[in-house]
A = this chain, B = another copy of it.
């Protein structure tokens, strides 16, 4: 490739590292910079030849970066960073605070319009690929029901909630879809499922020495919003077992559209999309990276403003030409 798309990473946690690795799989993209709020000298990346800059230097790189991938969190980082940097860069973020998407979209749209850039928000798998499948399912089968199941996978928020309890040293929480619920949906029954019927929650907890295990278990199982509405299991394990058996960040899930067609809805039609991810952040990063390509190319073709996965013609995700795509993948 003579002119690779120059990509920068802002924020170097699990997601930023995933983006760093995903870029290696795409020869038409080139990682040109890391930006961090930490002291750049302290950041140990997997690609030491790529410079690490302080976030304060970001505007100096305005003309050297084609797309900035924002790898911060949705709670406090992205609501500020995305609208700020969309003024100067094409950006991709994975903003996932669902209730605040309209507001975030609006803020990013203003900035990106102003700067003549494209800001693709809420990319990843949910929101992201799962949203796309929901949209397609709804459009193809307007008479039907949507089902989204998550897991089996690690929920960071729920793991954190357990870790905050007194007497807890470490914890990991898995969200698990209930097999009977999946089977009922697949049968075309169109069941109405309660929260409890859809997912169970499996908690693995390392207690501090002398902690009251019964109290911890009870506090987890009755925690409002997080666990009270679910069938929750709590298993106490050692720190060694935690390291050995629960160090990964797997995730996944299912999006199903169960619909009917025919003269009187007599024909059942079922669409199912599923992900089984060895690493949630690495997969999310892989989505962000192909979105970075799309964002750059959309901007090159004259588009500006905020976009979501719903606004991206799929060919933009691919390095191949329309001719190649039609020949090889259609």
CA distance A318 to B285 in the complex (A): 28
A135, B317: Cβ atoms closer than 8 Å: yes
Query: Which B residues are CB-close (under 8 A) to A327?
Result: 101-102
Please determine whether B317 and A136 come into contact, CB atoms closer than 8 angstroms: yes
Question: Is B26 touching A101 in the complex (CB atoms < 8 A)?
Answer: no
Interface string of A240-271 (1 = CB under 8 A from B): 00000000000000000000011100011111
Find out whether the CB atom of A315 lies under 8 angstroms from the CB atom of B323.
Answer: no
A283 proximity list for chain B (CB < 8 A): 140, 261, 269
Q: Please tell me if the beta carbons of A286 and B330 are within 8 angstroms of each other in the complex.
A: no
Measured in the bound complex, the distance between the Cα atoms of B21 and A143 in whole Å is 12
Q: CA A305 – CA B135 in complex, angstroms?
A: 25
Please give, as numbers and ranges, the residues of chain B lying within 8 Å of A273 by CB-CB distance: 133, 271-274
In the complex, the answer to whether B330 meets A122 with C-beta atoms within 8 Å is: yes
Across the interface, A310 reaches (CB within 8 A) one of B25, B122, B287, B325, namely B325
Nearest residue (CB) in B for A137 is: B329
A21 near B102 with CB under 8 A, answer no
Indicate if A322 sits at the interface (CB-CB under 8 A).
yes
Chain B residues contacting A279 (CB-CB under 8 Å) are 261-262, 267, 269
Cβ of A143: which chain B residues have Cβ within 8 Å of it?
25
Instruction: Tell yes or no: A277 within 8 A of B by CB.
Output: yes
Q: Which residues of B contact A131 (CB under 8 A)?
A: 329-330
Give the CA-CA distance A327 to B317 in the complex, in Å.
Answer: 24
* Residues B326 and A310 in contact, CB atoms below 8 Å apart: yes
Name the B residues within 8 Å of A293 (CB-CB).
139
State the oligomeric state as a number of copies: 2
Q: How far is the CA of A315 from the CA of B278 in the complex (A)?
A: 30
Q: Does A75 contact B (CB under 8 A)?
A: no
Task: Identify which of A136, A318, A322, A327 gathers the most chain B CB atoms within 10 Å of its CB.
Answer: A136
User: Does chain B have a CB within 8 A of A314?
Assistant: yes
- Shortest beta-carbon distance, A148 to chain B, in Å? 10
Q: Which residues of B contact A102 (CB under 8 A)?
A: 323, 326-327
Residues of B within 8 A of A138 (CB): 318, 329
A136 touches B314 (CB 8 A): yes
Which residue of B is nearest A267, CB measured?
A: B278
Query: Are B310 and A315 in contact (CB-based, < 8 A)?
Result: yes
Q: Is the CB of B286 within 8 A of A275?
A: no
Cβ contact within 8 Å between A277 and B269:
yes
A312 interfacial by beta-carbon distance below 8 Å: yes
Knowing that A129-B136, A140-B286, A310-B314 touch, tell me 5 more A-B residue pairs with CB under 8 angstroms.
A132-B136, A135-B314, A308-B330, A310-B322, A311-B314
The 10 closest A-B pairs by CB, nearest first: A139-B317, A267-B278, A261-B282, A270-B276, A139-B290, A310-B315, A268-B278, A131-B330, A25-B142, A267-B279
Could you jot down 24 A-B contacts, CB within 8 Å? A22-B261, A25-B261, A102-B323, A102-B326, A122-B330, A129-B136, A132-B136, A135-B314, A139-B318, A140-B283, A186-B276, A262-B278, A262-B282, A267-B279, A268-B278, A269-B275, A270-B277, A271-B273, A273-B274, A308-B325, A308-B330, A309-B330, A311-B322, A314-B314
